[in-house]
């Protein structure tokens, strides 16, 4: 370690420590030593960019990687959530630091060595698991999306995919199957629901049918190959594939098996939707949805071949097909789907289009394996009434202007 | 490929496949589960992994703060609206408005909406169970000091919020017996989601 620092000093003598640490307009990286004596890669200001990178020895290996300072990927935060920049992604995995956030009383700081998960209620043997216990059980990994059910915006032209539906992200989640823990505690036959409770300041709770616990629920402690991010529930969360994000309770501290739902605030006052004068509750499944992420606002296109790209997903299973329209919905063509097409996962789609400069609208719609076809905004309003609300998965359209500008088409 | 290397590769690939058939881990009694594949997934699991420790009743009680619609989980104590009103003005009104109407963090009490506006969703017109008021306020409010209220204070506040929403009268004492019996105006509006996929848009 010590040697390394000397080497850096020798190689890059013109980088002052101040330059290494500061500067708003930054590019490239160098290694600096932190107060704790750790080597970290650090951005260097644009002014320090070498004219010819082949003539200057580059930055040496570091302890953690960096994102190129030329890449300005940011979530879009509000007081209660932060949206993923869907338009900036390639492939199907969301970088962990860009996974959307939604919490009800901030992100707690939890000591993983003190954190415990209690499982009690209608069980033979109530047990408390430390994180280290959970990690010793047989493990499982699964790539799946996580979407907040309150994930729809429209109403103005200047909305990006991030703003329309940036509350969806995809990771590889690793943990222990909840069914494994259910066996361990001996869930009683009369248990039909369980309460999942978080250890944040909202002590957030949801009731989940026990069947989901047996089917595919994961008690996750890792995301994309490393421990969960604090924003995603560090050190341990519930992960329910395909279900509305709120049910995948983060910072999980307690599960209580019961013979009835608990009717918590998050499943009555919130996360319920008006449907023709009634209030629909326990809408767990995420309805199939897709969105074109390229081209989209605020991008601009040029005449010629455009590869239309986007994401499609369904909480009820696999994506079967995605269709794209380049003439405002008059006709639809099949898009190509990128393998692997996973169950309850974001799938990437592509459609090659030659744009000749005409003014038009482009849009996508997904069909899932249950035969459900993503509806239009008008179809949803006709089916549910005009109140909007959760689980709004309408087709989103982009207007293409003759000058190449791309604008969201606000729904009315 | 050199012979030795291919043998190494074979061993590495096959070994994990062989383990289940060795019969070292054999479940005596596969659990009754709704899903077929879980049972087969876990066929090679031992009956118990022996991980975790048994929870004591004392530690369960400390964490088990939830309240169900049938009243299970409600603590001893009671409350009345008049006392709740003064606690509310002190600890809640800055965020939820005087009388629970129009604060920066949302109304809790129903009021007549301004002309052309939809009524705000409140305890009075949108909450199906009165027990949820107790459960939620005790666990999460006040937002700036969650978990700081005594059970007695939460009972008073619950009585106040129900009375302000014209659901109970001002003399009703709210306790573990009476709270589950309060019928909320929105109760009959709630229906469970019955969608199962398929082409229908609902």
Distance separating alpha carbons of residues A8 and A87, to the nearest angstrom: 37
> Domain spans of chain B?
3-52, 66-189
* Percent of chain A residues past pLDDT 90, beyond the cut: 86
pTM of the model: 0.88
Length, in residues, of chain A: 412
> Is A255 within 8 Å of A196 (Cβ atoms)?
yes
Mean pLDDT of A275-284: 97
- Sort A161 into a burial class: Cβ within 10 Å, 0-12 / 13-18 / 19+: buried
Same domain, A253 and A308: no
Mean pLDDT of A145-161: 97
Distance separating alpha carbons of residues B171 and B186, to the nearest angstrom: 22
Residue with more model confidence, A106 or B117: A106
Distance separating alpha carbons of residues A283 and A310, to the nearest angstrom: 25
- Sort B157 into a burial class: Cβ within 10 Å, 0-12 / 13-18 / 19+: buried
Q: Which residue shows structure tokens 């969703």?
A: B121
pLDDT band at B33 (very low <50, low <70, confident <90, very high): very low
Residue A42, pLDDT above cutoff 90: no
pLDDT band at A22 (very low <50, low <70, confident <90, very high): very low
Q: Which of A242, A262, A280 is where one domain is finished?
A: A280
Same domain, A89 and A15: no
Same domain, A13 and A143: no
Nearest residue on chain B to A137, alpha-carbon basis: B49
pLDDT confidence of residue A101: 98
User: Which B residues, 120 through 149, put their C-beta within 8 Å of a C-beta on chain A?
Assistant: 121, 123, 126-129, 131-132, 135-136, 139-140, 143, 146-147
- Sort A14 into a burial class: Cβ within 10 Å, 0-12 / 13-18 / 19+: exposed
Q: Is A179 on the interface with B (CB under 8 A)?
A: yes
pLDDT confidence of residue B83: 98
Q: Which pair of tokens denotes residue B113?
A: 């909406």
Answer positive or negative: Cα dihedral of A66, A69, A70, A72: positive
- The interface predicted TM-score (ipTM) is 0.88
Task: Compute the nearest-CA separation of B92 from chain A (Å).
Answer: 16
pLDDT confidence of residue B127: 98
pLDDT confidence of residue B115: 87
pLDDT band at B15 (very low <50, low <70, confident <90, very high): very low
Residue with more model confidence, A77 or A18: A77
Same domain, A151 and A297: no
pLDDT confidence of residue A412: 84
Same domain, A304 and A353: yes
Query: Does residue A70 form part of some domain?
Result: no
Report the relative pairing of strands A319-325 and B174-175 from DSSP bridges: unpaired
Q: Which residue shows structure tokens 């004492």?
A: B173
pLDDT band at B38 (very low <50, low <70, confident <90, very high): low
Same domain, A375 and A397: yes
Mean pLDDT of B180-195: 98
- Give per-residue pLDDT as tens, A192-214: 999 999 999 999 999 999 999 99
Nearest residue on chain B to A367, alpha-carbon basis: B199
CB contact under 8 A, A184 and B48: yes
Query: Does residue A72 form part of some domain?
Result: no
In chain A, what's the furthest Cα-to-Cα distance? 73
User: Which A residues, 137 through 156, put their C-beta within 8 Å of a C-beta on chain B?
Assistant: 137-138
Give me the number of domains chain A comprises: 3
**Comparing A20-34, A177-191, A200-214, B153-167, which segment has the lowest mean pLDDT?**
A20-34
pLDDT confidence of residue A37: 55
Q: Does residue A295 have a cis peptide bond before it, meaning omega lies within 30 degrees of 0?
A: yes
Contacts of B117 (CB under 8 A, 6+ apart): none
Same domain, A364 and A335: yes
pLDDT band at A36 (very low <50, low <70, confident <90, very high): low
Q: Which of A280, A312, A344 is where one domain is finished?
A: A280
pLDDT confidence of residue A13: 38
Residue B5, pLDDT above cutoff 60: no
Buried b (16+ CB within 10 A) or exposed e, A22-34: ebeebebbbbbbe
> Is A392 within 8 Å of A338 (Cβ atoms)?
no
A361: domain CATH number is: 2.60.40.650
Same domain, A312 and A250: no
- Sort B183 into a burial class: Cβ within 10 Å, 0-12 / 13-18 / 19+: exposed
pLDDT confidence of residue A9: 33
User: Which A residues, 121 through 140, put their C-beta within 8 Å of a C-beta on chain B?
Assistant: 125-130, 133, 136-138
Same domain, A240 and A357: no
Same domain, A238 and A268: yes
The torsion defined by the Cα of A161, A162, A165 and A170, in degrees rounded to 10, comes to 110
Domain span holding position A235 = 78-280
Q: Which CATH number fits domain B66-189: 3.20.20.10, 1.10.760.10, 1.20.1740.10, 3.20.20.450?
A: 1.10.760.10
CA-nearest of A37, A97, A47, A34 to A67 is A97
pLDDT confidence of residue A386: 86
pLDDT confidence of residue B21: 32
Chain mean pLDDT for chain A? 91
Query: Does residue A25 form part of some domain?
Result: yes
Same domain, A204 and A98: yes
Same domain, A140 and A240: yes
pLDDT confidence of residue B117: 87
């Amino acid at each position: 370690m010590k040697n390394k620092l000397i080497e850096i000093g020798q190689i890059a003598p013109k980088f002052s420590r101040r330059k290494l640490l500061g500067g708003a307009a930054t590019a490239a990286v160098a290694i600096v030593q932190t107060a704790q004596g750790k080597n970290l890669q650090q951005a260097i200001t644009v002014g320090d960019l070498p004219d010819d990178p082949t003539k200057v020895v580059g930055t040496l290996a570091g302890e953690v990687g960096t994102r190129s300072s030329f890449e300005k990927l940011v979530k879009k935060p509000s007081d209660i959530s932060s949206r993923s920049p869907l338009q900036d992604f390639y492939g199907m995995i969301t970088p962990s630091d860009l996974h959307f956030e939604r919490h009800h009383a901030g992100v707690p700081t939890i000591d993983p060595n003190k954190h415990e998960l209690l499982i009690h209620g209608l069980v033979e043997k109530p047990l408390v698991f430390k994180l280290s216990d959970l990690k010793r059980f047989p493990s499982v990994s699964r790539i799946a999306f996580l979407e907040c059910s309150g994930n729809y915006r429209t109403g103005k032209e200047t909305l990006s995919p991030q703003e329309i539906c940036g509350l969806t992200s995809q990771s590889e989640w690793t943990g222990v199957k909840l069914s494994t823990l259910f066996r361990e505690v001996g869930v009683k036959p009369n248990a039909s629901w369980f309460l999942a409770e978080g250890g944040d300041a909202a002590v957030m709770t949801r009731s989940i049918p026990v069947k989901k616990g047996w089917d595919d629920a994961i008690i996750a402690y890792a995301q994309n190959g490393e421990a969960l991010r604090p924003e995603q529930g560090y050190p341990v969360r519930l992960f329910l594939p395909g279900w509305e994000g709120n049910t995948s309770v983060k910072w999980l501290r307690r599960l209580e098996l019961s013979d009835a739902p608990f009717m918590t605030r998050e499943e009555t006052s919130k996360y319920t939707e008006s449907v023709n004068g009634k209030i629909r509750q326990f809408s767990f499944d995420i309805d199939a949805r897709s969105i074109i992420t390229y081209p989209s606002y605020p991008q601009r296109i040029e005449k010629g071949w455009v590869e239309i790209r986007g994401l499609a997903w369904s909480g009820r299973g696999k994506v079967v097909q995605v269709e794209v329209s380049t003439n405002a919905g008059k006709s639809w063509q099949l898009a190509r789907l990128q393998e692997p097409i996973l169950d309850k996962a974001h799938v990437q789609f592509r459609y090659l289009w030659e744009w000749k400069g005409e003014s038009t609208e482009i849009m996508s719609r997904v069909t899932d394996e249950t035969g459900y076809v993503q509806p239009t905004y008008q179809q949803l309003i006709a089916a549910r009434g005009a109140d909007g609300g959760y689980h709004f998965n309408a087709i989103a359209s982009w207007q293409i202007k003759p000058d190449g500008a791309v604008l969201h088409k606000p729904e009315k | 490929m050199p012979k030795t290397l291919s043998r190494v590769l074979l061993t590495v690939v096959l070994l994990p496949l062989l383990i289940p058939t060795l019969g070292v881990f054999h479940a005596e009694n596969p659990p009754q589960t709704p899903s077929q594949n879980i049972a087969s997934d876990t066929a090679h699991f031992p009956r118990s992994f022996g991980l975790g420790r048994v929870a004591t009743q004392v530690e369960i009680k400390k964490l088990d703060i939830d309240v169900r619609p049938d009243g299970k989980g409600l603590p001893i104590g009671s409350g009345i609206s008049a006392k709740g009103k003064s606690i509310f003005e002190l600890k809640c009104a800055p965020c939820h408005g005087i009388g629970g109407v129009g604060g920066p963090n949302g109304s809790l009490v129903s009021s007549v909406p301004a002309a052309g506006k939809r009524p705000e969703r409140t305890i009075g017109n949108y909450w199906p169970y009165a027990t949820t008021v107790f459960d939620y306020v005790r666990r999460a409010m006040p937002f700036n000091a969650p978990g700081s209220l005594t059970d007695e204070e939460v009972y008073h506040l619950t009585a106040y919020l129900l009375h302000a929403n014209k659901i109970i009268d001002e003399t009703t004492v709210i306790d573990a017996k009476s709270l589950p019996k309060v019928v909320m105006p929105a109760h009959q509006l709630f229906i469970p989601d019955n969608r199962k996929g398929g082409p229908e848009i609902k």
